[in-house]
Structure 1
Amino acid sequence: MQEEAEASQVFTPEMIDKIARIWTRSIITLIDIRFQNVTSQYPLEQYKMPSSMFIYTYGGEAQIQLNETTFGMERFGLVHGGKGSLLSISPKGEIVKTFLVFYKAESPLFFKKYLQLLLEQVNPFVQQFGYTPSNPILLLDWFQQMMNGWNRGKAMDKLQAKSFLYQLIHRVYRDFESGEIRYLQPDPACSTKIYLDKHYREPIMFQEIADMFGISGGQLTRLFKKKEGMSLQEYLIQRRIEAACHELKHTEATIREIATGSGFADEKNLFRMFKKYYKMTPSDYRKINALSMQVDGIDNDYHFLYNEGELAGLVKTYREGESTMFGQVRSKEMILAATISLMLLLSACGSGTATNNGGTVNPIPAQTQQTKQPEVLETRTISTVKGDVEVPNNPQRVIVDYLIGDVVALGVTPLGVARVARGEKEAVFANQITNSTKIAMEPEDVMALDPDLIILAWGDENYEDLSKIAPTIYVPYGDMTTEERIHFIGDVLNKQEEAKAVLNTYVEKIEEAKLAFQNAGLSDVTVTMGEFSDKNNYIAGSKHAVGELVYNELQMKAPSKVQTDIIDADKYWAEISMEVLAAYMGDYLISLGDTEVPTDNAVWQSVPAVQQNRIVTVDNSLSWSTDIITSSALIDYIVNQLLALAK
């Protein structure tokens, strides 16, 4: 089946390899194993899964639903879902037999960063799928033995149960690898369409939908566009516009009420979408459709001839989802021209004219419109590395990527934020963005928030797509000093005075830190920073966020080997083996990240800074970003720690 073929594309060989690596390096805890007879009289309904789960059903036909996804099972079915998923099982006959295996996955400290990178691409522990196993009888035997061992309760029996779990996992992905399996559920695109049809009036985050299937937002977008011929956002807007059109035709609700009720962020958003797709305002659309119904009611002698088309079908799709009024059929143009002519007469407006010979219709003067339209924002032009960009004078709905602290420092609370911090700990400005929506910087998710300004600072691969959504400013932060960057973002946000004040405070903090180092006798000491472990040591240079601060702004000195091999070589950092590590060690060490430094290694213990306990540990919440709020907090932390160690 086509649906099955498309669904199987989710599990590519590359993805299966990544999934295998994640399972291999993760800590898996078997939490519980249960067996349950589910009857048609007492189906399992909306059970909130307390952990990740494998569900194996057999013995009859049933529908298994995980969140918005429904799996149709005939005789055997294996389903997987993540923690928090809502599980329902409804037998079509009298009964189905069900095994439930609950487990928890954690990242070991040693592989934490490696796994984090993989989990950003695919997360098998929340991945949602259902299929008929290639050898269902073998799996049934494994599930039975797994439950028997678990119920006996002895340590060796539970160990055996866990070994069966690993065999099960291996078999599942071998089945996916073979590509010769029958999926129980259409691919994620089908489920997403069902979800959007049901929830289009609500705020939608496409990444949250993608998370249901354990895939990236970009992959979900590609699958959806291949199947439906349009992007997720285009489909969502289409559903919302359809709802708005129905309300405009058949109710007396205000434009604002219709916008909110149809899922648009506000009246301005509905206005903009109508101008884009219909080339008219919602009020004009309401007038035209009201008058068209009057025209349809006139005696047939007064009708223009046309080819059985209807006035409601005046929208024609072209290019990438855009729409235009006026189809190619001349009779439709005549009907529309007559309708607008009648509308102009009724509104006592003599300045607009219409033609019925293929010509265009002049826009209706603003003073004749009954509904006040949103004001056009005044704009300014900002020169960027991507060219001149026209931005709002007073942006209200700002989305920021990475340099969130810079925007917050200038007195602007972002509507949406991406890449807030790395690791489990919160960013230092977390309390100031509690009302901001955390998103992936994917065009679909950005568009859903309807921004009026986007500040992009991590990479420009999405720049072209984002710039089609709203004015987009690319900040090449790695090529700018803190002063240059804050002045630039201040210009973008029209916060020039705030930028000056923020920089003055920052410069004062830098000078106070230098003076404190001088008074403590630390002006000439050397400092090495990096991530240290028993096997791999990464020494940072001045291009690293913390290195920029310590070496360039605080002007602390690096050991000669760090200076020549890393800083002068313009490297972000370099991997240094344990055998030559001592040559790169300074008088003080700054350990970056949440990993613990080695304790039992002889080479490590021979380093003077280690022997004298001159190590400052900086967690990810302070070492991840170069924004000015995080940098200010990092200065305070490093200064206080070094001064304490110097005593």
Structure 2
Amino acid sequence: MNWEEYIQMWDNASIQLVDIRQLVISSRGKQQYSLPASGFIYVVQGQGTIWLDGEIHKFERFYLLHAGKGSSISIEVGQDEVTYYYILYRGSMSAKASKEIQKKYHMNNPFQLPYACRPLAPVILYRHVDSMYEEWNRREILERFHVKIWFYQFVYTLVQQLKLQGVASKETDMVEEIIQYIHEHFNESISLESLAELWNYSIQYLSRQFKRHTGRSPIEYVIQTRMAKAKELMIRTDATAQEIASSVGYSDVFYFTRLFKKQVGMTPGQYKKQVKESSGGSDSPWEGFVSSMGKNASSCYIIDDNHYQLKTKGDRQMLKGTRSKIALTLMLCFTLILAACTNGNSSRNNNQGSPGGTSEQSAESTQNTSSNQTKEDTSMRKLSTVKGEVSVPAHPKRVVVDWDLGPVLAVGVTPVGASSTQMNFAEFLKPYLPETIQDIGLDGSISMEKVLDLSPDLIITWNKDAYDNYSKIAPTVVFDTSQYSTIQDEITAMGDILGRQEEAKKWIEDFEIRTEAARNKIKNIIPKDATISIVDYVTVDKFLMVIGNSGERGGRAAYDILGLNPTPKVKSEIIDKKADRVEVSWETVNDYVGDYVIVLKVDGKEPPKLPVTWTSLNAVKNHHVIEIEMEKYFAADSFSSLLQAEDIADKITKLAATTK
């Protein structure tokens, strides 16, 4: 779609407004009609499905469609009511337009052109539409004339955003090209950013169009493609898990195994065994994994090109009081949503005080009491971060976190979105995670589309490289744990970020009490001068991984919280050098393992055959071996580490009881 030509034809056209309305469809309701003129439909609240001439559109709030005269519209609503505007108009080309413009008009009439999108800055469009609606209903000549001015401003703003988003009239070819590219390059590094750069579209637009045509996001499609290829290799070859992981684009075999289990429901070893034992197993692991490129059609709408038919079920005219609440909600979100279409932090921050520079009140009615009015706190404050000074909400309500989930929960904030890597492999945090938290993707492949859909007012990330993309969506803070020397400092910092200083103080007080209790539990079990090591020989091949006091696998819990002693070699080669771990040969294992040893295990994965250098260790011969589960000890955040320390203390206590 050439937007320059599109707006050029508008500039040479004669426009007559026909009608502007605001409608609500109640829960489970429907509306069906044919447009008597060209028109815009702008959904500002709720979600459901729109059929436009048989083409299906799954919509959420802030979804906009344009259609020509005679287009058939059918809207179906889910559990929540839907509020939308429609603006009907007639457009014709001026006789004074040049022959070139006249030719373009007849070849591609802009007033009949169907398209749909979710605008980058939807609240700006909402302000135009709501102003048009208010003045249209006054029914006075001067106001009706002013509505036409607003309408042109609406079209201008919309085309600006569509041009910025790179919206095109034909998306299917693009999606097919991306699918072909994924199948050819699945074993290479693929990200939303790289795909958007290759096809010269915004991340949000590309991801939305891909999901619209396939039912899954690009990264989900990449993962499923890789898993399908991995299945093929497992069935048809004797390749090891490490070789298969590498061949489908994963250098970390443990990460590949976790991902495979999440997608397939079993580990690679279990899958291979099941296929071999099953006489009816399919030889084609690609079966059932096909591109859902076909469009769903519906015949639930009524076609009549000559008459405006409106058949409704559960619809009503929007009450002015309800409209005010919608306006309030949108205005409160304006600052953050507008950031999605700005170019950098400075422009975003300049917009945060607008529009009007005032906050509005929301009236909340309660039963058996008089109505009270409360103000939403939309104030901002400056925060010093590793990326400089950042403006953040004084009391954020919709927080997205891509890694450090534990500290956020510790200060009493439940995020609206979090990385599935943390949610799935921070087992100790699961009792604190309600089902309302949305998955924003795996670490390393976070979906910017999912983050954008959550409309966060604050994003907390560990990833400095992702900061620029995040900050286009909402105020973003890089939470760099290397800046804090203790868990107390870490929680204090998170309390400052989230405006939860008192909650942070209370958690720290509780942390210190529980730490002392856990240390006292093992005080008389492990001698004061005894040493302890943490090793992992399950997720690695042909060598031993020895863990320090940072990173995952329980090092922080054992050394920092419980105060257990590392061996001299662990201290000098790992902890003092601020490394996470070292990989050592089995021949040198005795240099690293102390009087006690904590061993990682992975559910469903058999440990390797252990050499004599291991079985001859004093810790092994004295049964001073403590097993911990990887899924519980993968996370290294402050909250998880406290829970891990308590678990280790319990395991040491039980070990002592069984070895007496």
- The answer to which structure, 1 or 2, has the higher relative contact order (CA under 8 A, 6+ apart) is 2
TM-score under structure 2 length normalisation? 0.49
TM-score under structure 1 length normalisation? 0.50
Whose radius of gyration is greater, 1 or 2? 1
